[in-house]
């Protein structure tokens, strides 16, 4: 049985829970509250020395960290994995875009606004730039989606799962996506995929 260490409010965790549901895989969910430091305990650091959820424990006891690496592992050999060398690279391109140019702005702004009661002086000063870079990421996505239903290869796959998670939570970070009709239409297509589950779903 797979064991997923996760925090239900995490979009990075939701990526993994969504793919697990669409693959029909059952798993044991172990919640770790990142707001209470539960991913920085010695017990958890022995599982993932970087102290982050999601972390997936495989049947043999091996632990995998980094949401997008976990997605890649789970999808291998299934219809959710990219099919060609070029599509594998393009899928990874969008997954690295998500972790470098999207999540640090959209997810972090959402975390600050949604979970913190007060921002630090650094966060206060940083927030406008985070918002601007988040909107820039949505601009790149909007342009790419203008003539494509999904991010890679014309079909739903790992890049869509990776980008959907925090895109669909952007409102909680104060982002207004009215000017991104392609992104909105794509999010509706993702949510209409067979086996789609919302963020509070576990199985």
Q: What is the spatial distance between Cα 101 and Cα 75, in angstroms, rounded to a whole number?
A: 23
- Looking at the Cβ atoms of 50 and 117, the one nearer to its own copies is 50
Q: Which stretch binds its own copies (CB under 8 A): 1-9, 16-24, 117-125, 170-178?
A: 117-125
- Looking at the Cβ atoms of 25 and 140, the one nearer to its own copies is 140
Q: Does 131 bind its own copies (CB under 8 A)?
A: no
- Looking at the Cβ atoms of 33 and 129, the one nearer to its own copies is 129
Burial class (CB in 10 A: 0-12, 13-18, 19+), 173: buried
Q: Does 104 bind its own copies (CB under 8 A)?
A: yes
Q: Does 86 bind its own copies (CB under 8 A)?
A: yes
- Looking at the Cβ atoms of 125 and 191, the one nearer to its own copies is 125
* Chosen residue from 65, 131, 197, 199 binding its own copies by CB under 8 A: 65
Put residue 51 in one of left, alpha, beta given phi > 0 → left and psi -120 to 50 → alpha.
Answer: left
Helix axes 158-167, 11-23, angle to 10 degrees: 140
29-58 footprint of its own copies as x/- string (CB under 8 A): --------------------xx-------x
Q: Which stretch binds its own copies (CB under 8 A): 22-30, 31-39, 84-92, 181-189?
A: 84-92
Q: Does 161 bind its own copies (CB under 8 A)?
A: no
Binding site for its own copies (CB under 8 A): 49-50, 58, 62, 64-70, 72-73, 76, 85-86, 88-90, 92-93, 95-97, 99-101, 103-104, 121-122, 125-126, 129, 140, 143-144
């Amino acid at each position: 049985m797979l064991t997923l260490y996760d925090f239900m409010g995490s979009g990075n965790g939701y990526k993994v829970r969504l793919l697990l549901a669409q693959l029909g895989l059952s798993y044991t969910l172990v919640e770790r509250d990142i707001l209470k430091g539960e991913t920085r305990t010695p017990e958890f650091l022995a599982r993932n020395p970087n102290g982050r959820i999601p972390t997936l424990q495989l049947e043999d006891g091996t632990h995998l960290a980094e949401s997008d690496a976990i997605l890649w592992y789970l999808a291998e050999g299934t219809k959710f994995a990219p099919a060609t060398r070029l599509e594998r690279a393009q899928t990874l391109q969008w997954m690295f875009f998500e972790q470098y140019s999207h999540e640090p702005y959209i997810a972090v702004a959402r975390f600050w606004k949604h979970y913190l009661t007060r921002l630090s002086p650094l966060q206060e000063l940083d927030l406008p730039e985070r918002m601007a870079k988040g909107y820039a990421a949505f601009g790149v996505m909007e342009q790419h989606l203008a003539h494509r239903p999904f991010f890679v290869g014309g079909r739903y796959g790992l890049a869509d799962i990776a980008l959907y998670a925090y895109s669909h939570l952007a409102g909680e970070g104060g982002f207004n996506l009215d000017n991104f009709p392609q992104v909105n239409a794509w999010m509706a297509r993702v949510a209409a995929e067979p086996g789609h589950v919302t963020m509070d779903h576990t199985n």
